[in-house]
Structure 1
Amino acid sequence: MEVRDLVVRYGTVVAVRGVSFTVGAGEHLTLLGPSGCGKTTTLRAIAGLERPTSGEIRIGGSAVFSSSPAVNIPAERRELSMVFQSYAIWPHMTVFENVAYGLRVRRLPEVEVTTRVREALDLVQLGDLGARSASKLSGGQQQRVALARAFVFSPSVLLFDEPLSNLDAKLRAEMRVELKELQRRLDVTSVYVTHDLEEALAISDRIVVMRDGAIEQVGTPGEIYDRPRNTFVADFVGSANLIRGRRRPDLERDGLVVIETPGGALVHGIAPDRRAGAEVL
């Protein structure tokens, strides 16, 4: 999947500013940032729930949105699936009926529907609850139903809009592990939105850090945490003690450098893309 030069405007407000990134087959990519950074708008544009102002979105090599030439494939024809923050479980249906809904809309044979739903419920550890009313489930069980419904028809890309934010801390930690394991077993390409750093570090193959509608850094969890590219990323991913200094040109080794600070030399400081003598934090 590829997003290229994506722009989303609401009148004079620019919510997404020229965002570009790719997601490899089977990769779990997380859009991470504070509220209002444009991550959910970007996700909704991929899903077809928001129409971008310009740019291009390609899934499986085919454009589902392009401003030039004009292409805008409806959401229901993009073969995507989305897990919402609210779960969006239908309370008047059983667990089985919730998960089967998308398959029945696609008019699959009922025998195949039954087989797929049972397999999906087994994967999320709800195999014995198919007949239970969805209104009688706990929050964690509702989340599992939403997950099963999302992947049961084998979408090309799975989208997640802060799916764990309504769970308590203990259950959220447990679901992170289950979600990562499920993604690995299904080997499905996925894009995940969260403002929770711990969550992003735990489940992601790569992370896109966003601010004010633009991308600040793209990298693996280790790269984002150990080598933040600027003060915003450093502050967002953890409590940072910022010390101003200048890069020493004479003591570099193994990609690490020495930073001269007012308090003395800071050995093995990390300063990606900074020339010798440049001021750094």
Structure 2
Amino acid sequence: MWLIVLFSFLLFCDKGFVFGLSSEYDGCNRTDISDFRSEFEVMKGNFHTLLKRVISNENEISDLKNQNNELKNTVRLCSCKIEELNDIIIQNQCNLNETRSQFNQELLILRSDWMNQNKKVFIGFSAYMSEDFVEDHSKSLTKGDTIIFDKTETNSDNVYKTATGVFTAPSSGMYAFTWTLCVDSRINDGGYGEFETELVVDGLICGTLHADTETQAQDACSTGFIIKYVRKSGKVYLRNSGDHQGSFLSKDSQTRTTFSGWKLN
């Protein structure tokens, strides 16, 4: 506003109204007036220059204000975005922690299951014929009958049934089986002890064994051994495969007729 007033004052001065100048002062020194006009023109030029600068500065200030407002808006938007990103990061961290916890729990379960599945649990049996049982059982056998071992030294989880003479595999895997047949040379029922046997696995003959004594007081023993894959619930047993004579020999003080099996893996 003060610039406008000053500018108006200078215009009045330019028209000859400054300091009350009028025609009654026509006698004044023309040279002084001329000098005054020259100085006035210089002042007016300076004024216009200053006015342009002021306007330019005001424009720059206005632009700076606009830029400042834009920057404030940008900062405000960035702050909002940063808050949103922080919320997302926090949520992602929570999700990550939850996922990690679930993964660790599942890993523990899998590890426990794996350890249980691969736990080294002995599976096997070792059976024999008792003295009170062997002679009568030997006489009762006919071709194809299952040979029964009525006593056990080892029988994990009752896998071998002494009532039937059958081993049932509790799990699939490789198994080893061995059996020893001893024949008595003191019992003669048309001949001294002689037996033929077969090892049957799931209905298939997987091993054979023959024991024979031809002379009195000369007992004989034979041993068989095989390794065979047996599926879970597979049945394994020994059977009499021929016409026999005499009796098996199984005495605590002398020797035993035995049947054993165990899982290898």
TM-score norm. by structure 2 comes to 0.19
TM-score norm. by structure 1 comes to 0.18
Larger proportion of strand? 1
